[in-house]
A and B are shown apart, each in its own frame.
Chain A
């Protein structure tokens, strides 16, 4: 009963390195999301995918790219990491109806030096 699985759980990068954060859900959900959480800021939406093959920008998309590889998987890529991208990243998914709650993964803690 895995739900939403994020890998890796922790990562340290140097400025300018690239990295892909992986997210997979086993609930056959249509929509998937990437958020970042910073102290005192709550969670902010980076990108989302309403269905396989579609992606849309959220509130803070700059510096990120995403890929909805298939219905299960939604990856987040940092092409050239910057210290401002040090954060905790959460992936979430939902069946489709907007009145349903999102299911969250346990997060990826990313530090960029």
Chain B
């Protein structure tokens, strides 16, 4: 079964600074990978996804992520964070083959933005 690890429970970043949120996955084949963001009291919004091709994917709100097969990682980056980026971020993997469906999520990283 696949699994996702987000090693950082909380991250604090100054406004305007760069950001990297880590995500490691466990899956036998090439996975389908997603990053979602959740603002307090809200549902989940897709930031970006990877399923094949270029390993650097661009998303909404200035985010990007890089798929590194050798490291089983899919880290999320942003060159300059804004106060509105404060939220919970979830990395998720989906089975690309047959069998059980559904997303497997990491436990999330809570992003705090300092003024």
Chain A residues packing against B (C-beta within 8 Å) = 31, 33, 35, 40-45, 48, 50, 56, 58-59, 90, 92, 98-99, 101-102, 104-107
Contact = CB atoms under 8 A, between A and B. Distances in A.
Interface extent on B, as a size class? Answer: 20 to 34
A42 B42 contact: no
B34 A98 contact: no
B43 A40 contact: no
Interface string B71-115: 000000000000000000010101110001111111110000000
Contacts, number: 60
Interface string B3-15: 0100001000000
Chain B CB within 10 Å, residue with most, of A43, A99, A102, A105:
A43
Contact of B101 (A31, A40, A99): A31
Given A48-B101, A56-B101, A99-B32, A42 B107 contact: yes
A102 B103 contact: yes
Contact of B43 (A33, A56, A104): A104
